[in-house]
Amino acid sequence: MSAVAMTVNGKAVTGDVDPRTLLVQFLREHLRLTGTHVGCDTSQCGACVVHVNGKAVKSCTVFAWQIAGADVTTIEGLAESNGPLHPMQDAFRENHGLQCGYCTPGMIMSAIDIVNRKGNDLDEQTIRHELEGNICRCTGYHNIVKAIAAGAKTMGAGRRSAG
Ligand code: FES
Ligand code: FES
């Protein structure tokens, strides 16, 4: 076991972990932040996407110790409890961008990253291309694409721009 320390959703956290502990395991099992999901064993589904130092990362692909000292944001960190939702969360709700919701945390974290990299005026082709690393088994993607385009615009309209 070895100690690992990082900042998660604005709070300093530490844990004693096996060197093989993945970031997603650290978040879910040590910190009980279970909004970050595991949907595959092959780094393909994107259900586990979080932000590490402001960039989208599949948290099943890195060991916790590899990001010691980093600033991590999970889906739980996008909005204050009892506060307004992040505009991208709102856009998924308004546009029915989810069904079972299993992929949704990863979709939203990826969507915010897309906006941060590509801007607030996103066309359908760009969104579909950028979502290649996120799999949804329910929705057929149409409403997810609509939600991301709408959320991107709202983020650009002066509400919170990143998670
Ligand atoms: Fe990380 Fe599927 S659980 S990509
Ligand atoms: Fe069910 Fe995407 S809403 S997997």
Q: What does the pLDDT read at residue 3? A: 94
Answer yes or no: is the C-beta of 48 below 6 A from any ligand 1 atom.
yes
Written as one string, the DSSP assignment of the chain is: -EEEEEEETTEEEEEEE-TT-BHHHIIIIIS--TTS----SSS-S-TTEEEETTEEEETTSSBGGGGTT-EEE-GGGSS-TTSPPPHHHHHHHHTT--SS-SSHHHHHHHHHHHHHHH-S---HHHHHHHGGG---SSS-SHHHHHHHHHHHHHHHTTS----
Tokens standing for residue 78? 């996008």
The pLDDT tens digits for 76-91 are 999 988 899 999 999 9
Sheet holding 49-52, edge to edge: 11-17, 2-8, 71-73, 49-52, 55-58
The rounded Å distance from CA 150 to ligand 1 centre is 26
Average pLDDT over residues 50-66: 98
Q: Which ligand is nearest to the CA of 102?
A: 2
pTM (2 d.p.): 0.95
The rounded Å distance from CA 144 to ligand 2 centre is 10
Answer yes or no: is the C-beta of 47 below 6 A from any ligand 1 atom.
yes
Answer yes or no: is the C-beta of 99 below 6 A from any ligand 2 atom.
yes
Q: What does the pLDDT read at residue 162? A: 47
The pLDDT tens digits for 13-33 are 999 999 999 999 999 999 999
Q: What does the pLDDT read at residue 1? A: 87
pLDDT tier at 159, thresholds 50, 70, 90: low
Residue showing tokens 């690393």: 133
Do 37 and 100 touch, CB atoms closer than 8 A? no
The pLDDT tens digits for 88-115 are 999 999 999 999 999 999 999 999 999 9
